[in-house]
Structure 1
Amino acid sequence: MLVAFSVAPSGEGPLGSDNADASVHDAVAAAVRIVRESGLPNHTDSMFTTIEGEWNEVFDVIRRATEAVGQFGSRVSLVLKADIRPGHTGELTGKLERLEKALGE
């Protein structure tokens, strides 16, 4: 399965934190670090992180990433989109390869 997710803190952050520009890059970095350390295939762009694997392992990583972001605010927003296709692997790149081939035809 592929799961694209976006996670961000909101509300008050840790005591003494300075977030004058409303940036969430430190919180997002904490989440992405967990994803990358998981060893599962993944890709991060400006809006989402996509991770590929089996149901339990993917959602465990997303849970841990969400908990890490929770350290940066009193609330957490989590958006998910999943492509559940049993028996298929390598779709993180495979879907793009098929798209590029179709565009080239």
Structure 2
Amino acid sequence: MTIKDLKHPGLFAAGVLFGTAGIKALSSKDAKKLYTNCTAAVLRAKKVVMDTVTTIQENAEDIYADAKQINEEREAAEEAVEDVAEETAEEAVEAEAEDTVEA
């Protein structure tokens, strides 16, 4: 029997021992307290992120409503200009027709 033959079972035994110790460490009260504190920190961070998202959504809705209002006002102004242009063109045609009738 050589050292090489004893190496593999020794590594296996060390792995089992390390795994058992790791499981005990991960399931201890201190580990549970650490997990609880980490989870609480994540929940606090989630709240902050959600508050920020809500604020951004509200601002985006305000911006969208203001943009729609600006476009509606612009369309109304363009329609008013077109109406005035049509009336002026109609008056010019009528005036020209009267001038031709008078002449």
Q: TM-score, normalised by structure 2?
A: 0.20
Q: Higher helix proportion, which one?
A: 2
Q: Higher strand proportion, which one?
A: 1
Q: Which has the larger radius of gyration?
A: 2
Choose between structure 1 and 2 for higher RCO, CA contacts under 8 A separated by at least 6 residues.
1
